[in-house]
């Protein structure tokens, strides 16, 4: 059991969880900053978590929900205040409604995650500070202490899984719901390099080539909210068919961390999607995450059946060779 103690300080209005792990700081850090890993141990065993956003940078946001055995969802959020890599990060944590807006009827708090190296691995301290004694007592009565112990009992297996995943981590698609799919890929390059690779027109034309035998003939990028992008692919040989492309608008951006855009296939009546790109520093390079929200399950399945992830993997492998 990694949890060594849980300390409630009524004077400081805080609750601190102490835990120790036989792995280096960077591996434990990566488990918390990778949404796909974090959701395996953030919720109690009976209430698994799903993160639909997790951009770990100052000003960023995380959205998640826990699902009960009966299928009921309990939503929460983080607002990222400060991040010092492999040292600590601080978030404002609160309950949320299903649409992601804060539920002010329930307590909010500030959480600091502190990572300290030891001779045998890493010592982790998670300190939650509340606005009042009533708020602290309310979350304790709601089962926060037992829930935290239950959640963290799962992390040891996650850390075992992390030991080798960087060696063979390729593009993966995970269905989160009827309308959402999460694409992940570990790219061996820095966050700055990968962000530039998605916004520099000349660089994009070198790696975002589409299917074999095709080229990115037109590339108009967008970086600020309200700006519109346009990508158009054409076959190198006229015998291989006509071109295709996508266009969309930037809705929100946190440079070198997060970008939310719309995406519409040009010249079709297919409904648009909302794509959320997140880049997170990782000991193996940069963890790239794309959350795609479709209008319905039928559209989701139709797109996945086209071999989308295989095409993305070919492009990301090409990007790595350039970086």
Residue-wise pLDDT tens digits, 141-159:
988 888 888 888 888 778 8
pLDDT of residue 310: 87
Question: Torsions phi, psi of 39, nearest 5?
Answer: -70, -10
Tell me how far apart the alpha carbons of residues 84 and 300 are, in angstroms, rounded to a whole number: 37
pLDDT of residue 158: 81
pLDDT over 90, % of the chain: 70
pLDDT of residue 111: 97
pLDDT of residue 163: 58
pLDDT of residue 56: 93
Q: Which of residues 159 and 166 earns the better pLDDT score?
A: 159
Mean pLDDT of 84-103: 95
Neighbours of 283 (CB within 10 A): 15
3-state SS, residue 176: coil
Question: Torsions phi, psi of 163, nearest 5?
Answer: -60, -35
Q: Which letter does DSSP use for residue 102 in this model?
A: B
Tell me how far apart the alpha carbons of residues 265 and 155 are, in angstroms, rounded to a whole number: 41
Residue-wise pLDDT tens digits, 18-28:
999 988 999 99
Question: Torsions phi, psi of 144, nearest 5?
Answer: -60, -40
Alpha-carbon separation of residue 136 from 10, 13, 105, 273 (angstroms): 8, 6, 14, 40
Nearest Cα residue to 181 out of 37, 29, 30, 302: 302
Mean pLDDT of 172-193: 93
Tell me how far apart the alpha carbons of residues 138 and 108 are, in angstroms, rounded to a whole number: 11
Q: Residue 134: pLDDT band by 50, 70, 90 thresholds?
A: very high
Nearest Cα residue to 195 out of 221, 172, 216, 215: 221
* pLDDT at residue 213 tops 70: yes
Nearest Cα residue to 11 out of 96, 129, 172, 161: 129
Q: Residue 1: pLDDT band by 50, 70, 90 thresholds?
A: low
What domains can you pick out in the chain, each with its CATH number?
3-165 (3.30.530.20), 172-322 (3.30.530.20)
- Residue 303's H or E segment, with its range, is helix 297-304
pLDDT over 70, % of the chain: 96
Radius of gyration from C-alpha coordinates of the chain? 21
Least confident of 57-66, 106-115, 209-218: 209-218
Residue-wise pLDDT tens digits, 245-290:
999 999 999 999 999 999 999 998 888 999 999 999 988 899 999 9
Residue-wise pLDDT tens digits, 228-241:
999 999 988 776 66
Q: Provide the mean pLDDT of the chain.
A: 91
Mean pLDDT of 176-199: 94
pLDDT of residue 81: 97
* pLDDT at residue 166 tops 60: no
Tell me how far apart the alpha carbons of residues 268 and 8 are, in angstroms, rounded to a whole number: 58
pLDDT of residue 167: 54
């Amino acid at each position: 059991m990694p949890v060594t103690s849980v300390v409630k300080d009524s004077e400081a209005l805080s609750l601190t969880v102490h835990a120790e792990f036989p792995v280096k700081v960077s591996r434990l850090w990566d488990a918390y900053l990778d949404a796909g890993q974090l959701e395996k141990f953030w919720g109690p065993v009976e209430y698994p978590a799903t993160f639909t956003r997790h951009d770990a940078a100052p000003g960023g946001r995380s959205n998640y929900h826990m699902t009960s055995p009966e299928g009921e969802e309990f939503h929460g959020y983080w607002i990222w205040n400060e991040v010092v890599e492999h040292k600590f990060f601080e978030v404002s944590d609160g309950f949320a409604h299903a649409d992601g807006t804060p539920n002010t009827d329930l307590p909010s708090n500030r959480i600091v995650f502190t990572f300290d190296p030891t001779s045998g691995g890493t010592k982790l301290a998670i300190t939650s500070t509340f606005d009042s004694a009533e708020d602290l007592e309310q979350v304790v009565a709601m089962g926060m202490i037992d829930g935290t112990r239950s959640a963290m009992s799962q992390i040891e297996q996650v850390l075992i899984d992390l030991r080798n995943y960087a060696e063979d981590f390729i593009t993966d698609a995970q269905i989160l719901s009827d309308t959402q799919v999460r694409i992940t890929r570990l790219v061996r390059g820095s966050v700055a390099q990968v962000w530039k690779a998605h916004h520099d027109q000349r660089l994009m034309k070198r790696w975002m080539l589409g299917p074999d035998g095709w080229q990115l003939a037109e590339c108009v990028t967008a970086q600020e909210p309200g700006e519109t992008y346009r990508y158009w692919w054409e076959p190198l040989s006229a015998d291989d068919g006509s071109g295709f492309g996508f266009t969309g608008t930037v809705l929100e951006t946190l440079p070198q961390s997060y970008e939310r855009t719309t995406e519409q296939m040009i010249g079709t009546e297919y409904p648009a999607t909302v794509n959320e790109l997140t880049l997170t520093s990782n000991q193996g390079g940069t963890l790239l995450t794309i959350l795609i929200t479709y209008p319905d399950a039928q559209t989701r399945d139709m797109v996945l059946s086209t071999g989308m992830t295989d095409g993305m993997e070919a492009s990301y492998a090409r990007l790595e060779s350039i970086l």
